[in-house]
Amino acid sequence: MGLLSKDAILAAADINFQTVPVPEWGGDVKIRSMSGADRDAHELWLTSQPEKEGGGFVLSNLRAHMAALSIVGEDGELLFNEADVVALGKKSAAALDRVYQAIITLNAIGPKDVEALEKK
């Protein structure tokens, strides 16, 4: 494998998609892997949350925030924005967790990554 050029890197189709069954919502959702900018926005959001006593952050609506950054329509464009996170967070915990688990798997984000951010 040789070195990639700037054009080759920028042209690479490196965003992946996955369909996730969500029976609580009566169907499937399509999620996409996060871009670098999406991941940075999520990490900024995490670290802007109120701090817990003793360290770390209060992670209210974590699953809803990740879902808003990942659930897309047929066209691959995000269905939700930052203003929708609170409403999305009021949906079924089981449904959000199902979507969240798929998102962390698709994006190779594990518990250690979340723990590291909490400690910042």
In the predicted structure, residue 103 carries a pLDDT above the cut 70: yes
Go through the chain and tell me how many residues it has: 120
In the predicted structure, residue 117 carries a pLDDT above the cut 60: no
Look over the chain and give the mean of its residue pLDDT values, rounded to a whole number: 88
Domain assignments of the chain as residue spans, ordered by start: 15-118
Q: Is 3 helix (H, G, I), strand (E, B) or coil?
A: coil
* Residue for token pair 């169907």: 27
**pLDDT value for 100:** 94
DSSP letter for each residue of 38-55: HHHHHHHHHHTSPBPTTS
| Nearby residues of 29 by Cβ (< 8 Å), 6 or more positions away | 19, 20, 22, 71, 99
Instruction: Identify the architecture of domain 15-118 in CATH.
Output: 2-Layer Sandwich (3.30)
In a 10 Å sphere around its CB, with 0-12 CB exposed, 13-18 middle and 19+ buried, how is residue 30 labelled? middle
Res. 28 pLDDT band, cuts 50 70 90: very high
